[in-house]
Structures are given as C-alpha cells and as structure tokens.
C-alpha cells in the first residue's frame, strides 16, 4: 500500500507542476480537466497499473485515441514506475519508444496500462509498458529509459522503504 500511496502523491505533483499535464483540480486519484485524465489503480515496487478514460481531446481526426496521447502515457508511465521504486524526482527521459498494434479506443472507452520498472540502477532506470483497449487487445507497447542519477538526492524519496538495497 505504501507504493500505491507514494505513486499517487508523485502523480499529484506532476499534475500540479507540469505544463503538459496541467490540472485545475485533483480529486482523490483521478486527475480531471487536464490533458490526461488518469486513475492509478494499483502499484507495488516496480509495477504500476493505470487507466485513461478516453475523451475527445485524446483523439485524432479519425475519432480514435491519438498516438501522441499514448506516447505521452508511455512517458508518464515510465515515471510512475520509477516512483514505485521510491524516487520522488523520477529523472529525465533519455529514450522513449512506442509500437502501435491495434486501436486504443474511442471516446467513452477506457485504455488500461501496466508498466514495469525492468531495471533500476544508480544512473538509469529502464521501464516497459503495455496498453490494453476495451476489447482486451494489446493496443500498444512502449519502453522508456530515465536518467535518475540526480533524482537519488531528492529529500522526499522513500527508496529504502520500497526498494531497499542490500
């Protein structure tokens, strides 16, 4: 439960401070009135699940979720996976990849994501994510590499709680 609470606090900080992911208000775990409305449904060290309620502003001219929305969620998801290991400052992106396999869905549908922190080192963290559409199909896969060397110094980290080192 500590990982879920911590990841939600990091997401709330992103929503409050980010220019790309602004929000007029945060209600519990749901961020609304921003670019991405998300709900973190589960988290444990190294693994996070979250959902996107697809709205009009998430879609392209074909009325399906825009690839750029999914790419932004790969970025966000990688950051949340790093947060699930206890880093409040989640580092900066060095690489991001997305592979689109099926439609992610239309307005009113939910896109689900499972993201994992595959490797968590002193300098780099490697994450992978899989998106599932409302039909249960894999809609997209992504990977995100984060430079985390400077993030280890943040005073709000709880790495020892979530990812103790031997």
Residue 121: pLDDT band (50, 70, 90) is: very high
Closest by CA position to 17, among listed 89, 81, 72: 89
pLDDT digits (tens, 9 = 90+) for 33-76: 444 446 899 999 999 999 999 999 899 999 999 999 999 999 99
**Which residues, in sequence order, are CB contacts of 17 under 8 Å at separation 6+?**
none
Cα(72)–Cα(70) distance, integer angstroms = 5
Q: Just give the CATH number of 2-159.
A: 3.10.129.10
Extents of the domains making up the chain = 2-159
CB half-sphere exposure, 87, CA atoms < 13 A: 25
Cα–Cα–Cα angle for 115, 101, 67, nearest 5°? Answer: 75
Cα(44)–Cα(1) distance, integer angstroms = 7
Task: Specify the pTM.
Answer: 0.87
């Amino acid at each position: 439960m500590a990982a879920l609470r911590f990841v939600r606090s990091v997401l709330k900080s992103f929503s409050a401070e980010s220019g790309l992911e602004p929000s007029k208000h945060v209600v519990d775990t749901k961020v609304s009135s921003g670019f991405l409305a998300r709900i973190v449904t589960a988290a444990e060290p190294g693994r996070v699940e979250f959902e996107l309620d697809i709205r009009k502003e998430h879609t392209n001219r074909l009325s399906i979720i825009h690839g750029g929305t999914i790419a932004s969620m790969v970025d966000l998801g990688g950051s949340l996976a790093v947060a699930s290991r206890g880093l409040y400052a989640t580092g900066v992106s060095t690489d991001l990849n997305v592979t689109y396999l099926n439609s992610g869905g239309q307005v009113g549908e939910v896109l689900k994501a499972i993201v994992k922190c595959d490797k968590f080192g002193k300098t780099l963290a490697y994450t992978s994510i899989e998106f599932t559409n409302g039909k249960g199909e894999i809609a997209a896969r992504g990977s995100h590499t984060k430079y985390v060397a400077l993030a280890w110094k943040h005073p709000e980290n709880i790495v020892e709680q979530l990812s103790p080192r031997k």
